[in-house]
Amino acid sequence: MFFGIPALFVLLLNTPICAGMGITGGKEAIPHARRYMALVRTGSNLCGGTLIKDNWVLTAATCKVDRTTTVDLGVHSIKTMNKLRQQFKVARWVPHQKFDRRSYVNNLQLLQLSKAAVLGSDVSVLPLSVKRKKLQPGTVCETAGWGTTTNHRNIISDKLMEVNVTIVDTKTCAKRWKPLINITRNMICTSENVEVKGTCGGDSGGPLICNGSLRGLTSFGMPECALPGDASVYAKLNRNIIRWINKIISGVHKIF
């Protein structure tokens, strides 16, 4: 999907499913090891998400959500339906009030599920934490999703894929995106010098996890997906964002 900037690739997808590889340059995740992963689908549009409470999922504001949207938990293979899988309608969706579709600032959205998920060995929450150190360039983080696995085929992965990605500083990232997008301090960037790996189409809204903590959500990248020197961009979960999340869901749960 494009929002007036042809060279920018928002990491949504409307494509068939491939039973082969997954996220670009990654590997298949151990089934149900990432129990917080949510599969968000509206028609043929696909995004990732993170279960942060038993009935709340955090995803990207660029992900299309309406009354037909389904959220699946306990998923490893999209095609495989089994007793571990839990599917929900979305009772309420709340994009960040300051989300900007042109600049991708505050690209976050909360989804309230139609009922609480049953937590257990295959589904669990990934709690948010306000006690965290500043991410330093060179930090290796993790991300996951069911998005496309190659720059040349718009076919998503059937299996959940994961990949390690490396944090780069804001100044370096801003130079790589200039003049298309203004990279702000409310964004996190990853880039690889040599390897082709990172997020791609269909991975939007998925988690960026650093040192075991949820630090961001997959937001956007270049159309060719994670080539060496390219910078993938994530919405940062800073203190203000966590306060916003707490405010939205405070009528149901406190998150910290």
Nearest-angstrom CA–CA distance, 225 and 25: 10
Give me the pLDDT at residue 1, please: 31
pLDDT at 25: 64
Over residues 199-227, the mean pLDDT reads 84
Quote the pLDDT of residue 245: 96
pLDDT in tens, 233-255: 999 999 999 999 999 998 745 55
Ranges of CATH 2.40.10.10 domains, the chain: 35-125+240-250, 139-237
CA 124 to CA 39: how far, in whole Å?
Answer: 14
**Structural class in CATH, domain 139-237:** mainly beta
Is the CATH number of domain 35-125+240-250 2.40.10.10? yes
Q: Look up tokens 């203000």; give the residue.
A: 240
Say which residues have a Cβ less than 8 Å from residue 106's Cβ, sequence separation at least 6. Answer: 61, 96, 97, 98, 99, 100, 186, 235, 241
At residue 62, the pLDDT reads 95
Render pLDDT for 59-101 as a digit per residue (tens, 0 to 9).
999 999 999 999 999 999 999 988 889 999 999 999 999 999 9
Q: What is the pLDDT of residues 134-174, one digit of tens each?
A: 999 999 999 999 987 665 556 778 999 999 999 999 999 99
pLDDT of residue 132: 78
Q: pTM value?
A: 0.87
Mean of all residue pLDDT scores within the chain: 85
